[in-house]
Chains A and B, each alone.
Chain A
Amino acid sequence: MQDLRRERLRVESSEEIGPYVLLRLERGTLEPGVPGQFFMLEAPGRVLPRPMSLCQAPPGALAFLIDPIGPGTRALCELAPGDAIHVLGPLGNGFEICVDRPLLVAGGIGIAPLPYLAEALGSPRAILGFRSAFHAEAAALLPGAEVVVEPRLVTELLPAEPGDVLACGPEPMLEAVRLLVPRAQLAWEAPMACGYGACYGCVVERDGRYERLCIAGPVLREAA
């Protein structure tokens, strides 16, 4: 159960980073939440909002990294300063940040929650993987991170003793990380209509049961 906060926020800026757009909104009275939590962003002209994890929380603002892969995300990427959208959040369960030896791992747009997470953890070691050099321009959001571009994979850079892995990325990457680091905290993605447990659209299978990712996650880890 969570307190739902929804507010209309004005766009401060919209910046292209490789194929992605960093959309910066005025924060209003919304809380930035815990790294790995997400917000539902109104996608202008669309029926449903889109779930986005918080990328950065500069003073007075909330910034989201958006990959324009469909009509909703494209509408968000086309927003201009002065436009305003409704934002609901923060939602879901973020990363457990009380960890001893954090190692951040992300693939592609999975880098989105890492800048805010890195800030909370004091800029720990980070490994990023991208599809192309163009996509890898997003690595600028995480100075000092180690970067691989396909065909190389992030799992190649995982040390033998990886410590506390916190990861976000496409499903195949998360599955590969989980095989190597069963205790890793993994931020998953699913189509969501509501983000607050109402629609049952975002279920993931856990222990043979379907659970709503929006309230069980989006960050999940194997039971101890």
Chain B
Amino acid sequence: MSVPLLNASGCLDALTAPAVARRFDVFVTKTVTPHPREGNPSPRIAETEHGMLNSIGLQNPGIDAFVVDVLPRLAKLGVPLWVSVGGFSAADYAAVCERLEDEDDVSAIELNLSCPNVEEAPETAAELVAAARTATAKPLYAKLSPASWNIADSARAVAASGADGLSLVNTIRGLAIEPVSGRPVLALGAGGYSGPALRPIALACVYACARAVDLSIVGMGGVTCGRDVRDLADAGADAVALGTILFADPEAPARIRLELEGEPSLVRGISAAETGALGGASSPEANVSAALTTQKALQN
């Protein structure tokens, strides 16, 4: 089987590792905010038994420097680009999306609505999507938190606000204690938990949302091998993103594609109709191909 692969936002810098970025069908940037952010103090990461915690704090150059310095270099990769957009209010999201609207190199926008390491915007995810929708015609993917009692409700709400797709899921808040001091390992205490421990949580979210809305779904959370990609696709994901595994294995995209060749193709006629993502194509792979084609059409 074949499933489009993306990197999870914040898990790969295409400028320091372009060869890794080119292995993906889409490169997703680290989250960009209206103003530059230095991010959180160290320590920012901690390994746990079955995953890792991060507290990076959306370190990024801000949208102005991103558009001038970063985007032109990313465009040279030759890989479709999605820009992850963050902020602290609906106005922030709208402002960054508006700034990207005329950038032809940007195929789609992923709205980071759920970073566990910074203060949340006062608005709901649906209100943030609505604000972004007024600012751009580009495809909008809403990245949701797994820490929601009923993520299907969130999915329906962002769909009603104009989202074109869902990115499922972001990290979930966690904490590690340093054994000698008894204090949190991370400088700011809690962080975002990712890695293999997140996988069943991501599967449950993808499964619930695929049955709740007719949106294209990028599944992610603890993927380490081809079988994990297949599981997410079986649960309803149209494409899959790799996150924490990239830290341990920058060759993961190529390896996972090979492993996927050994996985049987899915027979998902009914599910495909259920997910009915962009273009209403007949298979999940075709759905995202259609999504990517749509975005390329938007580019041209």
Contacts and interface: CB of A to CB of B under 8 A. Distances in A.
A196 interface: yes
B168 to A, nearest CB: 21
B47 A47 contact: yes
A199 B248 CA distance: 11
A193 B13 contact: no
A199 B44 CA distance: 10
A78 B54 CA distance: 27
Interface residues of A, number: 31
Nearest to A6: B251
A42 B252 CA distance: 14
Contact of B248 (A49, A71, A191, A204): A49
A196 B249 CA distance: 11
A1 B248 contact: no
Nearest to B44: A201
Nearest to B197: A47
Interface string A1-40: 1111010000000000000000000000000000000000
B45 A199 contact: yes
Nearest 7 CB-CB pairings of A with B: A197-B16, A201-B45, A194-B247, A193-B247, A200-B56, A201-B44, A197-B13
A210 interface: yes
A210 B16 contact: no
B147 interface: no
A198 B248 contact: no
Interface string A49-88: 1000000000000000000000110000000000000101
Nearest to A2: B16
B213 to A, nearest CB: 31
B47 A46 contact: yes
Contacts of B56: 199-201
Interface residues of B, number: 35
25 contacts: A1-B16, A42-B248, A47-B47, A88-B250, A191-B42, A191-B43, A192-B45, A193-B45, A194-B248, A197-B13, A197-B16, A198-B20, A199-B45, A199-B247, A200-B30, A200-B44, A200-B56, A201-B43, A201-B44, A201-B45, A202-B45, A203-B39, A203-B59, A204-B42, A209-B38
Max chain A C-beta neighbours (<10 A), residue from B17, B48, B59, B247: B247
A215 interface: yes
Interface in B9-63: 10-13, 15-20, 30, 38-39, 42-48, 50-52, 54, 56, 59
Contacts of A210: 38-39, 59
B37 to A, nearest CB: 10
A48 interface: yes
B196 interface: yes
Nearest to B38: A210
B84 interface: no
A180 interface: no
B195 interface: yes
A201 B249 CA distance: 16
A190 interface: yes
A180 to B, nearest CB: 25
A203 B17 contact: no
Contact of A191 (B16, B45, B51, B59): B45
Contacts of A192: 45
A190 B42 contact: yes
